[in-house]
Structure 1
Amino acid sequence: MTDELPAMRASDAEREQTAERLREAMAEGRLDMAEFQERLDAAYTARTRGELVPLVRDLPVAGSGAVPEGLEGPGHSWVGRVGKPATSRGGFAFWGGFGRRGKWTIGRTFTGVAIQAGGEVDLREADFEDRETVIRCFALMGGIVVTVPPELHVEVTGLGFMGGFDDRGAGEGTPGSPRVRITGFALMGGVGVERKRRKGEKKRLEKERQAGELEG
């Protein structure tokens, strides 16, 4: 979008181009949800090019790949990991187990149920359908473990009765991190939330530590 001919009527394609730049900016953490929604509404109701230009003037050109300094290391960039189609919205296990791990995309709402069984939800390599995700865990005489990377924003609000709902994995994430709220109920069972680094990052840090010891 340029400043040329600001009074010219905007086309549907130009409105959609502006909307896409706004979506990318939100996924990168440049816009919060309220500001994104405000600008998106303005984009779709804009009549002229001049009304579209201010909506993206303070944003980088789409696809420029600009990442804030200090956030380009492994596990710290969320660019490209938000806004993908969900591959799973739930897991159920009865006298068995279910697992969601590795490269997958979690739906904006995910429901896990474990009845005398176990469940695993690993978000360390996962992509996200939305920036706001709710994980509902229900454990009946069983257990569910949710594993999250250290950079993810996590809230835990579940309850346990004759069981436990562990909130030790709750905490703030890095700028641009998706927000995940883990809720639900554990009856004579347990739900655990733990923070762990990715396996590849663990190996990288170990190599750096060993190299530092050799240099010392």
Structure 2
Amino acid sequence: MRASDAERERIAELLREAVAEGRLEMDEFEQRLESAYKARTHGELEPLVQDLPAPGSAVTPAGSSAPAPLRGSAADWPARIGGTATSRGGFAFWGGFNRKGRWTVGRRFTAFAMWGGGEIDLREAHFEDRETVIRCITIMGGLHVTAPPELNVDVRGVGIMGGFGEGSSEESEPAPDAPYVRITGLALMGGVGVDRRRTKAERRRLKEAKAREAELEARGRSGLEGPDDDRRGGGRGRGRKELG
């Protein structure tokens, strides 16, 4: 199975816990961390933590059991498909509604807003079925859908004296095992917007991972260049003394 960015980050976090607990030397930690970020399959990731216990434990190996489910778009998609829908629609008239956090989207979800608004956040949602249709109808109101970048989303709405379409989108490719969501409907003198972006927690994790990777690369360069620089510097110093 191909490994996802979230799974690579989970392994990296286990390695950081291990070095913090003194189970790994720094050089071994750096080697394993580099291998984790380069891994493309589960088979390459699992051996990196197979000999390590779970954080804070001296009994259970970190690689011997399935990882705890992750929240947000980094979660394992197959685990987020199936189950009983907790909501099949939203209604707003001179008011508003929102569906966000951990909830299960019905295979047919209808949202209506008139002189009001609604928020539909799919970033931490589960899905009743692999294929979902979200119908958004607004009259002089607004509906906003937020989807994770890895979700397969198809927008096919109509705007009359209003707008129906996609907004901002973070760079990412839809995951092959993610659900397919078709967003359709009508915006009459109103608007329906669809944004694709990660949660703040995910963006922070990605930023930290990139910073750690850059730090490791900098350490690698300094380790290769340092001894040569010292030798060259020492030689120049001796040459100046001899000339003097």
What TM bracket, shorter-length normalisation? 0.5 to 0.7
1:97 aligns with 2:96: yes
Paired residues of 2:107 and 2:127 also in contact (CA < 8 A):
yes
CA RMSD of aligned residues (A): 2.0
Which 5+ residue runs of structure 1 have no aligned equivalent? 1-67
1:20-169 equivalences in 2 (<5 Å): 68-71=1-4, 73=6, 75=74, 77-168=76-167
1:196 maps to: 197
What does 1:11-26 align with in structure 2 at a 5 Å threshold? Answer: none
Displacement of 1:213 in angstroms is 5.0
2:133 alignment partner, SS class: strand
CA distance in structure 2 between the partners assigned to 1:110 and 1:207 by the alignment: 36
1:176 corresponding residue in structure 2: 177
* Shift of residue 71, structure 1, vs aligned partner: 2.7
CA distance in 2, matches of 1:172, 1:157: 19
Secondary structure of the corresponding residue to residue 173 of structure 1: coil
Q: Tell whether the 8 Å contact from 1:86 to 1:128 is kept in structure 2 after alignment.
A: yes
Q: Does the Cα contact within 8 Å between 1:154 and 1:169 map onto a contact in 2? A: no
> Displacement of 1:80 after TM fit?
1.2
Do 2:85 and 2:127's aligned partners in 1 also have CA atoms closer than 8 Å? yes
C-alpha distance in structure 2 between counterparts of 1:163 and 1:105, whole Å: 29
Identity of aligned residues (%): 55
Q: Specify the SS of the correspondent of 2:82.
A: coil
Contact 1:133 1:179 in 2 (8 A): yes
Structure 2 length as normaliser, TM-score?
Answer: 0.57
Task: State how far apart, in whole Å, the 2-side matches of 1:83 and 1:89 are.
Answer: 14
User: TM (normalized to structure 1)?
Assistant: 0.64
User: What is the rounded CA distance, in whole Å, between the counterparts of 1:89 and 1:169 in structure 2?
Assistant: 26
- The alignment of Structure 1 onto Structure 2 pairs a total of residues equal to 149
Question: Can you give the 5+ residue segments of structure 2 that lack an aligned partner in the other structure?
Answer: 8-73, 219-244
Q: Identify the structure with the greater helix proportion.
A: 2
1:104-143 deviation line (CA, Å, top 9, x unaligned): 0000000001111111000000000000100000011110
- 1:155 & 1:172 partners in 2: Cα distance? 13
The one-letter amino acid paired with 1:110 is F
Distance (Å, rounded) in 2 between the aligned partners of 1:128 and 1:102: 13
Deviation per CA, 1:53-107, whole angstroms, max 9, x where unpaired?
Answer: xxxxxxxxxxxxxxx2223626162121101110000000011110000000000
Q: 1:154·1:172 contact (CA, 8 Å) conserved in 2?
A: no
